[in-house]
Chain A
Amino acid sequence: MKSIKDHLMFILPLMAMLIGIEFILVFNRITSSYENKLKNEYAILVVSQKNLTTPYLRSIDDNIDSVEAMNREDIAKEVTSGMQDAALAAIMKDLPYFYRVHLTSYMSLDGLKKIRAELKNVNGILNVEIFGENYHSKHTIFRLVKMLLNIFIVMLFIVSIMLVIKQMQVWQLAHKDRMKIMEIFGAPMMLRSGILFKVAIIDAIIATILNIVIFLFIKSKWSQNSDIDFVKNNQDLLFNISDFVILFVIAIVIVAISVFIVAMNTREVPEG
């Protein structure tokens, strides 16, 4: 019973840290995917008196990915709906060119304003519409959620580290005598801390596996029943096989540091 409690005292804070790290990984993927989606659905509208090409606009700002010309006839027809063909011809003659300008990546409002200023300086361009407010309203909420999550994860980490330190003190008490006796008989640090390291590695493996089970459940069950369309349509973002490697490596690093500190604290310091 005491042994199970000792294991849980390390497994639970380790799991909390790993959950925090997995949340960061998942949220970074979701953020990146969401920004990509926003970027793909977004375009700056440019009205110009002259023809514009992608290479030309890229030479003005390398954040510009492509330029898509809008059909002038469709626009003119919409405007001249119910009028005579002569009116259409007259409007077509004076109608400027309309372009959708796509960007290479998601950009901040300041970045968009900078591009607008650069495009407005181009000779022949009459107007540039960046639709900045619409573009950013959803993303601002998203960033707020991300910031709150990060604060939560930092708090979780601090509490978890305190619990791990507490468990290190328990380890120190439990293993000190054995490690000191082994040192008197000439055991190197690796051998002295070997037993503790094995115990801690088992805890690290259990914590990693439990974490993976939780996130696989979220991916396969919870996300299907979720009301959030974005989550439903992007289940792959919720857990990657590479996450297992990342979590396991981090768990091992935490274990190695903890055991090393315990071993250092129990080592003999010659008097005199």
Chain B
Amino acid sequence: MASIISATNLTLAYDKGKNIIINDVTFTIEQGEFVFITGPSGSGKSTLLKSLYGQIKPREGMLNVGGFDMSKIKKKQLLQLRRNIGIVFQDYKLINEWTVEKNVVLPLIITGYSLDVQKVQAEKLLSHVKLSDQATKYPLELSGGEQQRVGVARALSKNPFLILADEPTGNLDEFSSGVVWDLLENACDQLNATVVVVTHKIPTIFNIPYRHFIIENGGVHEVH
């Protein structure tokens, strides 16, 4: 299997290196793997996830995502990488002035797909996340669980090689959480996407093999 994410002696910090969050960690994640990252609040889970899509640059060490060295990546390359990553946020990050179906196909709009392709893909994904009847509504007209399902549909819309999710079920009820975990499982299992999920709690029922990293005191440890 090819390595999708590779970190070697990686250090992540804020305030120009004064505030070290992740300190000298080494790990690799292969294509098609499902990885949970857990740890106490403030341990650096979200920071590590942000570094995977380039919102935080490595302070020291090497971080390679999808073949790009994240410490040297140029802005244009970063945007190119992001176009092939699906990201799910705890606070959904939907565009409130756009309809649900337009939000879902945002990655296709960015890549320049035709309106016909966008429409077909929006219908398919909204059916997957059980929101076909909400296509023309706006995000603020939906419940939190429905908004997160829109967020997951958006992350899957371009069949990304990597899906990053930051507390995707943090604000959701049991039903919506179940739908979100099913979608992420399917993306990994059927589309062979690599999925990295930051969460407080691993779901009790999970149907595919996964790896589990714990972040504590700046270090990353794998639980076997």
Contacts and interface: CB of A to CB of B under 8 A. Distances in A.
Contact of A272 (B57, B97, B154): B57
A177 B87 contact: no
B110 A185 contact: yes
Given A177-B95, A178-B97, A272-B13, A185 B83 contact: yes
**Size class of the contact patch on chain B:** 20 to 34
A122 B8 CA distance: 92
Nearest to B71: A272
Contact of B14 (A183, A188, A272): A272
B54 A270 contact: yes
A41 interface: no
Contact of B56 (A178, A191, A272): A272
A37 to B, nearest CB: 58
Interface in A173-220: 177-178, 181-188, 191
Interface in B74-121: 76, 78-85, 87, 93-98, 106-107, 110
Interface string B12-26: 111000000000000
Nearest to A187: B110
B217 interface: no
Nearest to B158: A185
A271 interface: yes
A184 B57 contact: no
B145 interface: no
Given A186-B83, A187-B79, A271 B55 contact: yes
Contact of A271 (B14, B85, B96): B14
A182 B59 contact: no
A268 to B, nearest CB: 7
Interface of B is mostly: mixed
Contacts of A177: 95-96
A136 to B, nearest CB: 60
Contacts of A271: 14, 50, 55-57
B55 A191 contact: no
A84 to B, nearest CB: 100
Interface in A235-252: none
Contacts of A272: 12-14, 51, 56-59
B93 A184 contact: yes
B92 to A, nearest CB: 10
A177 B97 CA distance: 10
Nearest to B154: A185
A2 to B, nearest CB: 12
Contacts of A188: 76, 79
B138 interface: no
B97 A186 contact: no
A258 to B, nearest CB: 20
B53 interface: yes
Given A177-B96, A178-B95, A270 B106 contact: no
A44 to B, nearest CB: 67
Contacts of B85: 186
Interface in B45-65: 50-51, 53-59
A186 B81 contact: yes
Nearest to B80: A186
B107 to A, nearest CB: 5
Interface of A: 177-178, 181-188, 191, 268, 270-272
Interface of B: 12-14, 50-51, 53-59, 76, 78-85, 87, 93-98, 106-107, 110, 154
Q: Across chains A and B, which 9 residue pairs bring their CB atoms closest together, nearest first?
A: A186-B82, A186-B83, A272-B57, A272-B56, A186-B79, A187-B110, A270-B57, A271-B56, A178-B95
8 contacts: A178-B95, A181-B93, A184-B82, A185-B87, A186-B80, A186-B82, A187-B79, A191-B110
Given A182-B106, A186-B81, 8 more contacts: A177-B95, A181-B94, A184-B82, A185-B106, A187-B110, A270-B55, A271-B50, A272-B58
